[in-house]
Every structure is written in structure tokens, then in C-alpha cells.
Amino acid sequence: MAPWKLSWKHLYDEVVTSGLCTGCAGCVIACPHDVLGYEDADGVYKPFQTESDYGGPGDCSHGDKACTMCTRACPRFRDWEPAIDESMFGRTRTPDEVAGISKDILLARASDPALHEVGQDGGLVSALLVYALENDVIDAALVSYLEGDGSTWKAIPGIARTRDDVMRSAGSRYTYSANTLAYMDLDKEDQRIALVGMSCQSSVPPAMRERKAGKAGRRLSLNIGLLCSKTFDDSIFEELLEAKYDLPRNVIKKVNIKGRLQIWTHDDRYVEVPLKECHPFTREGCTMCPDFAAEHADISTGGIGAFDDWTLTIVRTDTGRELVEKLETDDWIETRPGDDDPGAIELMRRLATKQRKRWPDTAVAAPALIPVTGS
Ligand SMILES: Cc1cc2nc3c(=O)[nH]c(=O)nc-3n(C[C@H](O)[C@H](O)[C@H](O)COP(=O)(O)OP(=O)(O)OC[C@H]3O[C@@H](n4cnc5c(N)ncnc54)[C@H](O)[C@@H]3O)c2cc1C
Ligand code: SF4
Ligand code: SF4
């Protein structure tokens, strides 16, 4: 293989400013010189170069001296998808595997009523994390919290180390949280780390391993993905929910998306917002994202399907299968076959097919792959 000589200037031109950048922050945590910052205000979720006294925003003094870590870590750079498929599964996907390569598809939910209750769907993700923390599988997990007392509904990355932490972080927020960034706050002793993240983030650890982008790829040893078609810009709160539905941020108790945006309030109201009213608030970083099904996670999880309180669970790797089997054996989760809800699997394939069409013709061809048969 030719030596990898691609640095920040290539990433800046081909991903950061081309529309492909999802804001996953893989490049930021990979940078060994700490010169990449991360902008997360005013709807911008992007990396930037902090060396203001060196050239322009596309220049990096370390890149000019042959540092290539940021391009190696980026899961949208050049042929990221076939390269990661090949290194994770030993082959690239067939056109029919539009939602990625997997071993098992099942429905799962936490047996512990408290974990089930706080979970967005079946509480599977929370059960996996608590089990892994309490049974010496991981030292810490990178998750998302609401800032402060939750009344601003600003989703922020953070670290979970205990059952309480996991329960505080449970549920879904539909604005962006670059959970990957919490990597920067880990302790040296944290060597086995779970990443929970949307599809874009779940391609970070395998991209880092495949392209040898430093030790984070090895430390991120458990990768739990969330199916995802988009996140919303934070302005949706004021410009739609407050302006049209009289729902200021601080009255919102819980949100969900099931064919429409559902909102429960602290004063016992329930409001439904048609998704077509939400679409104009799609975050810029999602508009070219081809990955609905968190195709490079160990375990991908979603809420689509007929059963609201179960998590649709796609097991992709041996690591994922081993962990799910342990939770089943120890009665931490209940499972049923994915075939109990064929409509959910069909819908996942349809949504994955649709999302792949977002990948632009101007970029490398592979992620545009759509199935020859089926949906
Ligand atoms: C932005 C977003 C969009 C989604 N879109 C879809 C979709 O289109 N179709 C579908 O089937 N499923 C979607 N999901 C996944 C679904 O909402 C559930 O997260 C999933 O089914 C797991 O449910 P659970 O009960 O097992 O998880 P839980 O036990 O509730 O755990 C959820 C985990 O997600 C983390 N999390 C919550 N919000 C965010 C965020 N904004 N960013 C990063 N991490 C977060 C939490 O910290 C927690 O660790 C989406 C999730 C998110 C966050
Ligand atoms: S997609 Fe992620 S890794 Fe790539 S440039 Fe954007 S933030 Fe960095
Ligand atoms: S659609 Fe979801 S997975 Fe894709 S960039 Fe947006 S947040 Fe990330």
C-alpha cells in the first residue's frame, strides 16, 4: 500500500468544507498535537484548526510536517466505507446488504423495569452499558446528557461510569451530541471504552483502527450505534416548537419520533408535530449522510417497528454477539426474533436505501450502493 500522506489540508477541502462532514469529531480526538478544536454553537458542529498564526483555516503546521492522523480517523474521507467493511468483516457488502453486514437481527428489551422505563425504546442500550460497567467489560462509556438541569434541552457529550450515570443519559434527544468528544476527558486508566453514538460516530472507531490513527481506535472497544436519519438544528426549539406550539424548552419532558415528533410536557400535555414541519430544521451535517443503520457498530439499535417498547437490535460483530448472549444468559434482557416484526426490517432496508442516495456524485462511488433486489 502506498504511504498515507494525506493531512488536514486534504480533510479541510474534501470533507470539512465540501458538505460531507458530519461533525463526528473523530479527527479532533485523533489529533496528537491538540490543534483541532470543535465548534458546537449556533447549529455548527464542525472541527476547526486552532493555529490562528499559521496560514488559513485549511493549513496546519503539523500536517505540513507529515502528520496524517486526522484524515486517517475521518469516517467520511475517500473510500472509508469499503475500507472499513473489509477490515471489520473481511469483505465489502453485497448490493443487497444495504443496511450493512450483520450476524443477527432481533428485538430486545431490558429485564430490569427501571432500565426499561428510562430507555427510549426497550432500554437495551442502557442495559448493555450497565452490564458492561458492572461486569468488568468496560471501564467507561461515552454517552450524551442534557446540560445542567435539562431545561435547556442542549444535548452534550459526557462519560458514564455508573448505573446512575447511564440512567441519567438514557433516552433520545434529536439534536446533535458528538459523544466521541468525551474521549478527551477520560482518565489514563480507562482503557476499555464503549462509544454510544449515531451512525456517523459509530464509524469512527473502526476507521481509526483500519487506518492506524492512534490508540483511541483500540481503546474504543465496544461500539453501540443508534439508527439515524437526521438530527435537527437547535433552532427547532425556538423557531418551531415555541413559536408554533407554545413549547418553550423548559416545559419539554420527553421527545420521541414515531412517524411524527411526539412531545410530552412537565404540565401533562402531549403534542404531535408533523415531521414535514421539522424537515427544514435538518442539521447541515446530515444532508449528505448515507448511513441510516449504524453500519459499522458492534450492535446497532433503533426504534422502528410494531413494538414500541422493544429495541430493534442488529448484531454485527463477534464482540456484539458475545455481549448480547451474556446479557441473555444472565437474564438482563429479553429477546425475540427479528422475524416477529418483518415490517421493521423491511422499513430499515427502505430507509437505508433512501438515505444512501444522499451521498453526492462528486464523492467516491461506494457509499451510493443501492440494492439490486428488494425494497
Ligand atoms: C438523534 C437520534 C436519531 C435517531 N433516529 C432514529 C431513527 O430514525 N430510527 C430509529 O429506528 N431509531 C432512531 N434512533 C434510535 C432510537 O431513538 C434509540 O436510541 C434506540 O432505539 C435505542 O433505544 P434504547 O431504549 O435501547 O436506548 P436507551 O437505553 O434509551 O439509550 C439511548 C442512548 O442514546 C444516547 N443518546 C441519546 N440522545 C443522543 C444524541 N442526541 N446523540 C448521541 N447519543 C444520544 C444516550 O446517551 C443513551 O446512551 C435515533 C436516536 C437518536 C439519538
Ligand atoms: S466527518 Fe468527522 S472526522 Fe471527518 S472531518 Fe468531519 S468531524 Fe472530522
Ligand atoms: S443523519 Fe444521523 S448519522 Fe448521519 S450525519 Fe446526521 S446525525 Fe450523523
Cβ atoms of 105 and 314 within 8 Å: the answer is: yes
Per CATH, which fold does 8-73 belong to? Alpha-Beta Plaits (3.30.70)
Identify the three-state secondary structure at position 237: helix
Q: Is 226's C-beta closer than 6 angstroms to any atom of ligand 1?
A: yes
Q: Give 285 Cα–ligand 2 centroid separation in angstroms.
A: 10
| CA 156–ligand 1 middle distance (angstroms) | 14
pLDDT at 331: 98
Model pLDDT for residues 205-240, shown as the tens digit of each residue: 999 999 999 999 999 999 999 999 999 999 999 999
Buried/exposed 56-72: b ≥16 CB within 10 Å, e otherwise: eeeebebbeeebbbbbb
From 229, 275, 300, give the residue whose CB has the most ligand 3 atoms within 8 Å, as the site to mutate.
229
Q: Report how far ligand 2's centroid is from the alpha carbon of 341 (Å).
A: 35
| Contact 16 CB / ligand 2 (< 6 Å) | yes
Give the Cα separation of 67 and 8 in Å (integer).
8
Residue 52 pLDDT: 86
How high is the pLDDT of residue 365?
77
Would the CATH topology of 8-73 be identical to that of 236-281? no
Question: Model confidence at 266, in pLDDT bands (50, 70, 90)?
Answer: very high
Closest CA to 221 of 312, 153, 322: 322
Q: What is the pLDDT of residue 369?
A: 67
Q: How far apart are the first and last CA of the chain?
A: 37
Q: Does the Cβ of 23 fall within 6 Å of ligand 2?
A: yes
As given in the structure block, the three cell numbers for residue 7 are 493531512
Question: Do residues 83 and 209 make contact, with C-beta atoms less than 8 angstroms apart?
Answer: no
pTM: 0.97
Predicted confidence at residue 374, as pLDDT, reads 44
Is residue 173's pLDDT more than 60? yes
- Give the ligand whose atoms come closest to the C-alpha of residue 227: 1
**Domain range 236-281, CATH architecture:** Roll (3.10)
Does residue 159 have its Cβ closer than 6 Å to ligand 1? no
Nearest to 251 by CA among 231, 232, 234, 271: 271
- Do the beta carbons of residue 261 and residue 278 sit within 8 Å? yes
pLDDT mean across residues, the chain:
95
Residue 122's pLDDT is 98
| Alpha-helical regions (H) of 58-136 | 61-64, 69-73, 80-89, 113-118, 124-134
User: What is the pLDDT, as a whole number, of residue 371?
Assistant: 57
Per-residue model confidence (pLDDT) at position 314: 98
Ligand 1 centre and the CA of 237: distance in Å?
19
Task: List % helix, strand, coil for the chain (3-state, nearest 5).
Answer: 35, 20, 45
Three-state DSSP class for 71?
A: helix
Average pLDDT of the segment spanning 243-258: 96
How many whole angstroms from 231 Cα to the centroid of ligand 3? 6
Q: What is the pLDDT of residue 116?
A: 98
What average pLDDT does this structure show over 82-105?
95
Dump pLDDT digits (tens) for 103-161: 999 999 999 999 999 999 999 999 999 999 999 999 999 999 999 999 999 999 999 99
pLDDT of 14-60, one tens digit each?
999 999 999 999 999 999 999 999 999 888 899 999 998 999 999 99
Average pLDDT value for residue range 349-366? 91
- Residue 260 CA to residue 256 CA, distance in Å, equals 8
The yes-or-no verdict on residue 370 having pLDDT over 70 is: no
Q: Which atom of ligand 2 is nearest to the CA of 15?
A: 5
CA–CA gap between residue 132 and residue 20 (Å, rounded): 33
**Which residues on neighbouring strands pair with residue 332, listed in sequence order?**
none
* pLDDT mean over 322-330: 98
Q: Which of 171, 149, 167, 169 is nearest to 157 (CA)?
A: 169
Burial (Cβ within 10 Å: 0-12, 13-18, ≥19) of residue 300? buried
Among the listed residues 234, 224, 318, the one whose alpha carbon sits nearest the alpha carbon of residue 44? 234
Distance from residue 170's CA to the centre of ligand 1 (Å): 8
Domain ranges of the chain: 8-73, 91-233+282-368, 236-281
Q: Which pLDDT score is estimated for 95?
A: 87
pLDDT over 80 at 368, yes or no = no
